[in-house]
Amino acid sequence: MPSNYIPFQIIEVKFKGARKEFFLNTDNIYLEIGELIAVEGPTGGYDIGHVSLTGELVRTQMKRRKTTADQVTRKVYRKATEADVEKWKIAKDMEWETMHKARKLALDLRLSMKISDVDYQGDKTKATFFYTAEGRVDFRELIKKMAETFRIRIEMRQIGMRQEAGRLGGIGSCGRELCCSTWLTNFKTVSTAAARYQNLSLNTLKLAGQCGKLKCCLNYELDTYLDALKDIPDRIENLQTEIGIARHQKTDIFKKVMWFSYANQEDWIPLKVDRVKEIMAMNKKGQKPVNLKEEAVLLAPSVVVEKVHDYENVVGQDSLTRLDEKRNKQNRNAKNGQQRNNGAGPKGDKTNRPQQHQQGKNKGEQGKKQDQGKKPEQGKKPEQQKKAVATEKPVNAGPEAAQSNPGQPSGNRNRNRNNRRRKPSDKPKNE
């Protein structure tokens, strides 16, 4: 900014219920958006609000609201101090209880009105009561009782249903915050004709908002629909053909296609709007087409454009039991490798006899595992395994153990055959 630049002295301040007003910053206090400040009250005292707009953007906002600089008279006092903020918070905490007490007083006086909200001034000297009513209400007696009860200045202000919804706020059926509580300031009238132009079903539960009136968003696209309806006949009559009378069922405004059907047929026949106008002109002259099915429009199926993502979506592709299957596969591979190792090695190698004996023992115990479900004993030395085999008989052992002698260790036939050979010292004496 240049040194001789003079900032715009008017700022915009936001209060409770989306209420925004303009104030003069005559002292050129440096203010930031969102900062709490103390401003002049409408009937004396001061109020606390948030700075919502500063600088040259305030000029544009004033033009939008049709407000001139001469109409802005109230001033900015100062930045809110700790004492101001504490008193302002206490006043805001009192609003809920004050509203319920005021409703009770109105019910005692049998007044046909609903007090929807209360707004305390920042200095706790004044409170504004917002109410809704179908007609005019004489609340002079109510003001006297409220002044005696609350000991403050009372102001009553009547608002409409839409303004009430805007002050209270909420979430609409679209999932967003209400337009009237965020950005919408001018409430235009909404009629049921807006729903008819857009081919919407006249269901009050779907068309009504939280205020009980028709939704304001029905006016957002109304101009676009009105431009598209210029080429469509206002009064759509039944089309007369040689087969029979075709009744109008549906109209696609933007595709400019109209559907007709015969009385005894369930199929809908799509026709272009231009062709419908020609048939209507023919019917006025007394002419009738043969059949509308011959003139039906072949509508191309709607093409769904898939959005290409820059990542790969693998959700649902993997099975929940993929880790279990991998573990089972490892167990099977380990068992197959153990079985191959048990059958390896030369038959006549005497140096491997303890290992072969242990392999035979493992084979016998594998048979037990299949029948009895017991795990084979591991980590024993060959001598210990030999004793265990000699004392215990295998029960339901494998085929190799069943063929061997019950007193001999099962699993290594070569060793048993070697034991049966005669030694040189065992020859008969006659020789």
Strand duo 20-24 + 36-40: pairing: unpaired
Q: Report the predicted TM-score, pTM, of the whole model to 2 decimal places.
A: 0.58
Query: Which residues make beta-bridge pairs with 117?
Result: 130
The superfamily CATH assigns to domain 89-159 is: K homology (KH) domain (3.30.300.20)
Q: Could you tell me which of 86, 89, 77 has the C-alpha nearest to residue 39?
A: 77
Mean pLDDT of 362-386: 49
| Residue-level pLDDT at 401 | 43
- Whether the pLDDT of residue 197 is over 80: the answer is yes
Q: Give the number of other Cβ atoms within 10 Å of residue 392's Cβ.
A: 8
| Residue-level pLDDT at 392 | 47
Cβ-contact 156, 127 below 8 angstroms: no
- Whether the pLDDT of residue 371 is over 60: the answer is no
Give the chain's end-to-end CA distance (angstroms, integer).
Answer: 132
- Provide the token pair at 166: 């805007």
User: Tens digits of per-residue pLDDT, 389-405?
Assistant: 444 444 444 444 444 44
Distance between CA atoms of residues 290 and 298, nearest Å: 19
Q: Could you tell me which of 421, 425, 402 has the C-alpha nearest to residue 350?
A: 421
**Encoded amino acid at 188, one letter:** K
- Whether the pLDDT of residue 352 is over 80: the answer is no
Q: How far is CA 410 from CA 42, 350, 393, 398, 413, in A?
A: 109, 17, 10, 10, 8
| Residue-level pLDDT at 131 | 95
With H, G, I as helix, E, B as strand and everything else as coil, classify residue 286. Answer: coil
Ordered by start, the domain boundaries in the chain are: 10-80, 89-159, 172-228, 234-295
Cβ-contact 268, 259 below 8 angstroms: yes
Q: Give the number of other Cβ atoms within 10 Å of residue 353's Cβ.
A: 14
User: Tens digits of per-residue pLDDT, 56-84?
Assistant: 999 999 998 889 999 999 999 999 999 99
Is pLDDT larger for residue 410 or for residue 260?
A: 260
- Whether the pLDDT of residue 199 is over 90: the answer is no
Distance between CA atoms of residues 278 and 262, nearest Å: 19
Distance between CA atoms of residues 411 and 371, nearest Å: 18
Mean pLDDT of 37-42: 94
Distance between CA atoms of residues 244 and 337, nearest Å: 83
| Residue-level pLDDT at 322 | 63
User: Tens digits of per-residue pLDDT, 224-260?
Assistant: 999 999 888 888 778 888 888 999 988 889 989 999 9
